[in-house]
Structure 1
């Protein structure tokens, strides 16, 4: 979809007149390659042609999330001698980012207000980003819409309300059999599950919390074990076992499922903790873990109004926390452990270091680990807006998540490919 802001004039005008400028803008072409409609996790090449040689322009992007909050970004570019700007080759000279960043306009999208997370949890509607080219004074020269699809053709989406299970099931087209993945989120989101289904996985998305966390006094592992059993009953699912993917608080649930559910064959653990957190955890009506102590006095409040929680989580290995420690060394699951080194929500790196020490002491080799310097807590599928800080639905702080935007965006691209390779190797 390509639209210039003026119709072509009917007469040729002399340089310097307003109509001449309008005629020139009608020749400017903004292209999104290989196509304007793509999957959410695919890159696009942004190219502008028809500019004057060495002309300076501003590229802008704009998108609205599910709550109606507008996110935007901008970057200044200078056309080459042929009057072209290619974000794959040319550097941004200023704005939301600098340097050669082909997808910079997307990952640098931000709301005007502080502490905003881009809400895109529903899979049915695409993530639409309007990209435009502007003269230095702001006049629009060309505009195009990038539709970033979460649900591929033929992938079915089914709401599931069965017993303890309240989630969404995504199934790829074709007869199968397909590998199965349980996608655990602290709060319900369909994005990651839908994108994995596009890659050939049957995925059940579940949220740890389906109600206000303030009303929750205990969490039962049975509900997530039921999700594993539900996946294995699906007619298109193969028989090799189930994978689990998780981040943050849900990573603890995932590692515990790996201990208690023998059908969990592969687990992706992203920026988790080595202990159970928030409320006691139960299985078969018996408490199996207490909750890690959180010291509110050690929360660091920043000038922006955001809070760094990293130092408020007490040591899982301390005597008073021993009852919350997750015995991951008892699992026979294959693990992919992932830690962001600039995580300011909690100390993912130290937690992962301790987990690996315990596994190695037990002679375990059923794991691999990846560390991302410069990345923050909120590792997600790539090319979404980078979130600096946002309200924490569990702890009620406006939480600073950490991460340097460029390094974080690169980590998401690398990790997303790694996750797919890991699940295919362990579950196919």
Structure 2
């Protein structure tokens, strides 16, 4: 890896419902590079748990041309090609697709279903097929200020998320969709619990 190219991601750890700012600097004037996002634990709320394993390899990419100062700011840079087409600072996040799928056995017991409180993405800058800079970024659904309790009662299975401060607030019930599973509903519940 070359030290002159750097990736800046702000904030350094982000909530899944907040945008981030990604800037690449230290490139040559008008240099063409590929920026790739990779994740082994990306959680796509639109992907069926029955079709995509929980350790699938996800990827997105975009090709950009650096400005006069050798910088690419995803806030206002339009990709030449890639998994998304228009200027969008979050394009590398939402355009991820499964590159390798590892189907695993789906847990049947509530206690075996992990909470998926966060996931990581690695961003790489590639010049002529060679990685010249890399940075990992963590996205969180909820942090350690949120506690959870499994609820198993009268054919009801669920997970309750609340602030550890236990300050009374309105309750929101999140129900799963056609998959009929807890995984996606709990991701949304974790986000609400953080707010």
- Structure 2 length as normaliser, TM-score? 0.80
1:131 aligns with 2:108: no
Closer/same/farther in 2, CA of residues 106 and 49 from structure 1, 3 Å limit:
same
Q: Which residue of 1 aligns with 2:44?
A: none
Partner residue of 2:159 out of 157, 164, 168: 168
CA distance in 2, matches of 1:122, 1:93: 39
| Structure number with higher helix proportion | 1
Assess if the C-alpha contact under 8 Å between 2:117 and 2:143 holds in 1: no
1:89 aligns with 2:81: no
Could you say what secondary structure the match of 1:105 adopts?
A: helix
Unaligned runs of 5+ in 1: 6-24, 200-428
Partner residue of 1:64 out of 40, 49, 60: 40
Assess if the C-alpha contact under 8 Å between 1:172 and 1:197 holds in 2: yes
Assess if the C-alpha contact under 8 Å between 1:122 and 1:191 holds in 2: no
| Structure number with higher strand proportion | 2
Unaligned runs of 5+ in 2: 42-52, 107-112
Q: Which residue of 2 aligns with 1:98?
A: 85
CA distance in 1, matches of 2:148, 2:22: 31
1:348-427 to 2 correspondence within 5 Å?
Answer: none
Q: Residue deviations 1:281-334, cap 9 Å, x none? A: xxxxxxxxxxxxxxxxxxxxxxxxxxxxxxxxxxxxxxxxxxxxxxxxxxxxxx
Cα displacement (A) at 1:163: 2.9
1:217-366 to 2 correspondence within 5 Å?
Answer: none
Q: Which residue of 1 aligns with 2:5?
A: 28
Could you say what secondary structure the match of 1:171 adopts?
A: strand
Q: Which residue of 1 aligns with 2:45?
A: none
Larger Rg: 1
Q: Residue deviations 1:98-151, cap 9 Å, x none? A: 22110111111111369x9xx9x843441111111110x211111111111112
Assess if the C-alpha contact under 8 Å between 1:40 and 1:127 holds in 2: no
Cα displacement (A) at 1:46: 0.8
Q: Which residue of 2 aligns with 1:40?
A: 16
Q: Which residue of 2 aligns with 1:109?
A: 96
Cα displacement (A) at 1:182: 0.9
How many residues get paired? Answer: 170
Q: Could you say what the CA RMSD is over the residues aligned between the two structures, in angstroms?
A: 2.1
